[in-house]
Structure 1
Amino acid sequence: MAYARRIIDDELDDLFGQLAAIALDGPKAVGKTTTAEQHVAGLLKLDSKTNREAVQADPAVALRRLRPLLIDEWQKVPEVWDVVRRAVDEDSSAGQFLLAGSASPAEGATAHSGAGRIGRLRMRPMTLSERQVCSPTVSFSELLAGRRPPLSGECELGLADYVEEIVRSGFPGMRHLTARALRFQLDSYLRNAVDRDVVETGHVVRRPESMLAWLRAYAAATASTTSYSNLLDAATPGQSDKPSRATSVAYREALTQLWLLDPVPAWTPTGHPLSRLAQTPKHHLADPALAARLLGLSVDALLDGDGQPLGPQEGTMLGRLFESLATLCVRVPAQAADATVGHLRTRNGDHEVDLVLVRDDGKVLAVEVKLATTVSDGDVKHLRWLADRLGDDLLDAVVVNTGPTAYRRSDGIGVVPLGLLAL
């Protein structure tokens, strides 16, 4: 099959032509190897036992390969990181090394962070535009430019289509599978992560089932700010002998090292008259399909309203997972546009904005996510509240929904079907 370009290819086209080494970080099956191969001439796969043993014996042997060189699963021999760093110290010519890793090595596994020598890019599952399920008409780059362009376009996706995309997954190698094979593959993915991948990062998992239960609780808390103590309670209902808080923290750290957790941090504004903002991240798994599978939710179950969400935020499990899909579809182009992504929630919960995209100059694009085909005045009240406080520092405000048409309301707030968003 012909390679389908990803948004991160644009970033690599821009950056790898100027930087000597870049690491692609992301969970297994996200497509790092396939994408990186489009930008290199040489390949060193460290998940091959033969290659791994040779490099473990002499890490500098990696430098003998043809460049630009992809070192795949580099974390299996962490010493190659320092070898590449030293090579860049000696020769900083652009476009020499791509390193792809599906886990972040344990602290101390490398002698140096690589700061100033090895750049890092996060790679996430495919967005809807990358899946080519709709023809996008709304550019995030233009929204972030602050010109408030007219919005237009028709989206043929309906609610059932969005639910299908939640369950179908953005892992490219799973997109062609039948429903049963996909369920099997996602189950195997999660089981292997707990049974094998976590152990390879240096963590000891005495009770794999307890970690899976914690992951299920995390999935139920998708798109919420549920405390980690509540997650632990939800993972161990009715148990008097609960794992310690330190165990819960260890679960979180281990799964974060595998890039399986992808929380949205709380936005901390500087120079704005905003106070009493909560600092708790919003929980998201790397792919909403993983959350749906952990909770045993099929397309029909989600459409029937099944699933009990966990956390202070209102809404159904379908609404939470739709927000998670929207968050994925926002974060990928936001990264390419050099914007950071956070969320806003006041401590008393009076005001929330689902996604806050921030440019380097501190100016903001605010995004609300609504599982609805229409947008009412009540749906934009938090965006209006934020606009009153930010003034000219608010570049634009949009509601992402499941409706058929992109347009601007009379108050200037944009309404954009999720399927129409692109870089």
Structure 2
Amino acid sequence: MRYSKFKPETYIPRIIDSQVQVLLDTFGGIELCGPRWSGKSWTAQSFGESVTRVDESEQIYMDDPQLALVGDTPHVIDEWQDIPAIWNIVRHRIDDSANKPGQFILTGSSTPPEDEKRHSGAGRIARLRMHTMSLAETGDSTGAVSLLGLFEDSFQPAQSHIDLTDLANIVCRGGWPALQTKKLADPRAVTDEYLNALFDVSMPRAGKSPLLSRRIAASLARNVATSATLGTVRDDIAAFDNIAPVDGTISSYLEEFRRNYFIEELSGWDAPIRSKSRLRTKPKRYFCDTSLVASLLGVDSSRLLKDGQLFGLLIESLCIHDLSVYVSALPKSYGGSLRYYADADGLEVDAIIELMDGRWAAIEIKMGESKVEDAAANLIRVARKVAANPAARNPKPSFMAVLLGKGTMARRRRSDGIYVIPIDTLGA
């Protein structure tokens, strides 16, 4: 890895680093986008030779956006979205240099509203989505079981080392880089400050009410890891205020949450690539970090251990979060590689990974070992359904796995070939 001299001393290497290196060698610019405080600026700085921090001198760059491009390359432009005009100027500079690779690294914590005057940047600026840290990055997972290895039929058993108390603490702490490099007396202060910045600053900038933003977010937290309808959210808000916003209003808030990378949606999957059910299945919603759910619901790790249902949903959220990080590093992955399965017969599978070459895998997520048999039965059912569908061109999964919050050992079952993998053994 070719880090620059500006790499922070306490920088923890990220899984995305290798992708940053490859894209810098290929494109004139790259954009690191994702939630605030997920580590975008430090990752960009670790590869950059100079930095412009737009949010520190916003008026200067508003008066003359060209000034944001001044510096040695690769030049980092941090929080470019505060001055959207910067994007086209960067794109023109790349064009003028005949697309010379490795010129700019842009970071963005939100996506500006669509503007017909802003070019997509296709072919000039590559986009990389960052997440908060996975367990493999924080050191809470050994990473002994490689997701890529599973697709390549390479696997070795591995011992789990965390218990439910550890898991509850991890869920409430989250994957914020600031909480990995130093001990804070109250880690929740980070999530509370994140939420305050979102609700009291970012949402009002977009013309949204801080109070309604909090109400909608609380409803989403209560319904995390589900495909809750707008009606469900509306009813939750009415229970607070006796006044229910219309669905269009709720949708506009959800869109702003997505633009700020606050929530993420997991789309439905069907084996035929042109299946209409891929578009018709309601997405499941997750937060960018599990700690935000705990904060919004006002629970700590001790309370979480007493609420098995909520704990189970947050373990699912944690597993989907980490799978998102690991899947994005797979050589043949694309933006929609991670999905979930649900059909009219009531059969559901928590995660489906589909690669560009047609290979796919099915993963069920459970809290502990007692649910492995049920999960394995679900996986076998979905594999048989896909195999029986004449429109499915790749009927056989590369692998099937049960991903556990708390398990004993990562292993492959002799009876059906299904892997059982504790989350603290999984990595990219």
Same fold by TM (over 0.5)?
yes
The CA deviation string for residues 9-61 of structure 1, in whole angstroms up to 9 with x for no partner, is 01112221111111111011000000111111011100112xx3232222222
Partner of 1:313: none
**Aligned-pair distance for 1:234?**
1.3
Partner of 1:103: 110
Among 418, 423, 428, the alignment partner of 1:413 is 418
Structure 1 residue 385 corresponds to structure 2 residue 381? yes
Distance 2:240 2:204 in 1: 28
Q: What SS does the aligned partner of 1:243 have? A: coil
CA RMSD of aligned residues (A): 2.1
Distance 2:116 2:183 in 1: 40
Contact 2:270 2:278 in 1 (8 A): no
Among 201, 205, 208, the alignment partner of 1:205 is 208
Contact 1:277 1:345 in 2 (8 A): no
Partner of 1:309: none
Contact 2:30 2:125 in 1 (8 A): yes
Distance 1:271 1:178 in 2: 47
Q: What SS does the aligned partner of 1:393 have? A: coil
C-alpha change, 1:377 and 1:252, in structure 2 (3 Å) is: same
Distance 1:273 1:255 in 2: 28
Among 116, 121, 129, the alignment partner of 2:123 is 116
Aligned AA for 2:63?
A
Distance 2:148 2:180 in 1: 27
Aligned AA for 1:135?
T
Partner of 1:21: 29
> More displaced, 10-19 or 54-63?
54-63
C-alpha change, 1:190 and 1:234, in structure 2 (3 Å) is: same
Aligned AA for 1:113?
S
> More displaced, 18-27 or 108-117?
108-117
C-alpha change, 1:271 and 1:196, in structure 2 (3 Å) is: closer
Partner of 2:397: 394
Distance 1:62 1:243 in 2: 41
Partner of 1:333: 326
Partner of 2:271: 269
Partner of 2:291: 289
Contact 1:354 1:367 in 2 (8 A): yes
Structure 1 residues 303-318: aligned runs within 5 Å = 303-305=305-307, 316-318=309-311
Contact 1:277 1:346 in 2 (8 A): no
Partner of 1:188: 193
> More displaced, 173-182 or 270-279?
270-279
Contact 2:376 2:402 in 1 (8 A): yes
Among 350, 353, 360, the alignment partner of 1:357 is 353
Distance 2:165 2:116 in 1: 46
Contact 2:173 2:188 in 1 (8 A): no
Partner of 2:407: 403
Structure 1 residue 373 corresponds to structure 2 residue 379? no
Structure 1 residue 77 corresponds to structure 2 residue 83? yes
**Aligned-pair distance for 1:109?**
7.7
Aligned AA for 2:112?
P
**Aligned-pair distance for 1:415?**
0.4
The CA deviation string for residues 367-417 of structure 1, in whole angstroms up to 9 with x for no partner, is 110001345422212210121133443111011011020101120000001
Distance 1:357 1:68 in 2: 34
Structure 1 residue 44 corresponds to structure 2 residue 63? no
Q: Percent identity?
A: 29
The CA deviation string for residues 306-364 of structure 1, in whole angstroms up to 9 with x for no partner, is 7xxxxxxxxx111000000001111101011142101111135x111101111002221
Contact 1:41 1:69 in 2 (8 A): yes
Distance 2:213 2:64 in 1: 36
Structure 2 spans left out of the alignment, 5+ residues: 1-8, 388-394
**Aligned-pair distance for 1:176?**
5.6
Distance 1:360 1:221 in 2: 31
Contact 2:168 2:301 in 1 (8 A): yes
